[in-house]
């Protein structure tokens, strides 16, 4: 006959078990009511307009729900992978990637002057401080004596911004036009904007929709800076029209582009170089 022995559990052991059980609660418990969200990143509006114009002739390719619209990149929030604690701190995971190819034929060996991809993006939230963190792969020519640049970054800070108040989990968030500051990853990937630099025309938007029965709203687009018109003018001018009037217009347009964007962006000096080789001296 088998005897079943019942092991007594002390009150101390029971208390320890309860503590361990409580600690095992998933970190996502506080964000189970998050239903949707969008992060809008314009990088810098004037830069985006220049890339889309005939000088750079750039094209954005996006994946997994990310889109390019109204001079900005839009990334949907991955609700399932986002983790925020009861104080609103944590990680907001973004779906999708963005790839830009511009200045075709102006890179090494006839490659693009700018070939850049951003991926694995996420927002690291601590109180009111938010960092856009992600990976990048860059290939291009910044125009410094024809030196080709190939580099990448992993979980680099691209931009930082602040919220008016910490995220109150369960309450919709609509943070519009938040001033962005360049991070080391943006400096490394674009070779232009310095870490710590305030990005004029680079305000970001963050919308989080919780299941509270209210509409969180939508992100806002970015208005034209006038660079698109300048780029269009430049695209209609030809080096085969050497009239003083035509060249004067060309110089004026380029001066405007340089003032708005800056000449250190990968590919831009190559455009100026090409114009000089065509007989147009600035």
Asked whether residue 218 is assigned to any structural domain, the reply reads no
Asked whether residue 132 is assigned to any structural domain, the reply reads yes
pLDDT in tens, 217-237: 666 665 555 544 444 444 433
**DSSP string covering 108-154, please?**
GGG--SEEEEEEEEEEEEETTEEEEEEEEEEEE--SSTT--EEEEEE
Q: How far apart are CA 168 and CA 101, in angstroms?
A: 39
Asked whether residue 269 is assigned to any structural domain, the reply reads no
**DSSP string covering 34-87, please?**
EEEEEEEE-S-HHHHHHHHSTTT--EEEE-TT-EEETTEEEEEB-TTT-EE-TT
What mean pLDDT do residues 13-24 have? 46
Asked whether residue 262 is assigned to any structural domain, the reply reads no
Asked whether residue 112 is assigned to any structural domain, the reply reads yes
Instruction: Please tell me the pTM assigned to this model.
Output: 0.73
The DSSP output letter for 105 is: T
Q: How far apart are CA 47 and CA 31, in angstroms?
A: 35
Q: What is the pLDDT of residue 70?
A: 87
Q: What is the pLDDT of residue 268?
A: 52
pLDDT band at 180 (very low <50, low <70, confident <90, very high): very high
pLDDT band at 280 (very low <50, low <70, confident <90, very high): very low
Higher per-residue pLDDT: 3 or 111? 111
- Total tally of structural domains belonging to the chain: 1
Q: How far apart are CA 178 and CA 222, in angstroms?
A: 12
The DSSP output letter for 206 is: E
Higher per-residue pLDDT: 103 or 109? 103
Reply yes or no on whether the pLDDT at 213 is more than 50.
yes
The range of the structural domain enclosing residue 205 comes to 27-210
Reply yes or no on whether the pLDDT at 20 is more than 50.
no
pLDDT in tens, 33-56: 999 999 999 999 989 998 988 889
Give percent of the chain with pLDDT exceeding 90: 51
Give percent of the chain with pLDDT exceeding 70: 62
What mean pLDDT do residues 90-102 have? 98
pLDDT in tens, 246-274: 333 333 444 444 444 444 455 555 555 54
Residues 6+ apart with CB under 8 A from 260: 46, 50, 225, 227, 230
- Hunting for tokens 């990088």 — which residue is that? 43
Q: At what angle do helices 268-277 and 244-261 cross, to 10 degrees?
A: 160
Asked whether residue 247 is assigned to any structural domain, the reply reads no
Q: What is the pLDDT of residue 184?
A: 98
Neighbours of 229 (CB within 10 A): 14
Asked whether residue 179 is assigned to any structural domain, the reply reads yes
Q: How far apart are CA 131 and CA 160, in angstroms?
A: 4
> Cα angle vertex 251, ends 245, 254, to 5°?
140
pLDDT band at 208 (very low <50, low <70, confident <90, very high): very high
Q: What is the pLDDT of residue 141?
A: 81
Q: How far apart are CA 121 and CA 199, in angstroms?
A: 19
Reply yes or no on whether the pLDDT at 64 is more than 80.
yes
pLDDT band at 214 (very low <50, low <70, confident <90, very high): confident
Asked whether residue 63 is assigned to any structural domain, the reply reads yes
Q: What is the pLDDT of residue 221?
A: 62
Q: Average pLDDT, whole number, for the chain?
A: 77
Instruction: Give the H or E element holding residue 244.
Output: helix 244-261
Q: What is the pLDDT of residue 222?
A: 56
User: Is residue 122 within 8 Å of 91, Cβ to Cβ?
Assistant: yes
């Amino acid at each position: 006959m088998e005897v079943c022995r019942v092991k007594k559990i002390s009150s101390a052991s029971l208390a320890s078990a309860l503590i361990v059980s409580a600690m095992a609660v998933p970190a996502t418990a506080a964000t189970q009511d998050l239903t949707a969200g969008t992060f809008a990143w314009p990088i810098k509006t004037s830069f985006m307009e220049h890339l889309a114009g005939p000088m750079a002739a750039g094209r954005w390719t996006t994946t997994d729900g990310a889109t390019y619209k109204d001079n900005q990149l839009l990334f949907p929030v991955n609700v399932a992978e986002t983790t925020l604690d009861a104080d609103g701190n944590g990680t907001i995971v973004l779906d999708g990637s963005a790839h830009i190819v511009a200045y075709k034929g102006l890179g090494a060996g006839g490659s693009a002057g700018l070939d850049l991809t951003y991926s694995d993006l996420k927002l690291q939230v601590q109180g009111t401080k938010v960092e856009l963190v992600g990976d990048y792969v860059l290939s291009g020519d910044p125009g410094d004596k024809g030196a080709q640049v190939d580099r990448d970054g992993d979980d680099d800070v691209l931009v930082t911004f602040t919220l008016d108040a910490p995220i109150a989990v369960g309450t919709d968030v609509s943070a519009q036009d938040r001033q962005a500051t360049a991070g080391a990853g943006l400096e490394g990937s674009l070779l232009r904007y310095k870490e710590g630099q305030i990005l004029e025309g680079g305000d970001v938007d963050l919308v989080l929709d919780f299941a509270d029965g209210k509409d969180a709203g939508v992100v806002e687009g970015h208005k034209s800076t006038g660079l698109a018109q300048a780029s269009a003018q430049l695209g209609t001018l030809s080096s085969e029209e050497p009239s003083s009037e035509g060249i004067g217009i060309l110089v004026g347009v380029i001066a405007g582009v340089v003032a708005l964007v800056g000449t250190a962006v990968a590919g831009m000096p190559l455009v100026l170089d090409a114009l000089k080789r065509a007989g147009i001296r600035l």
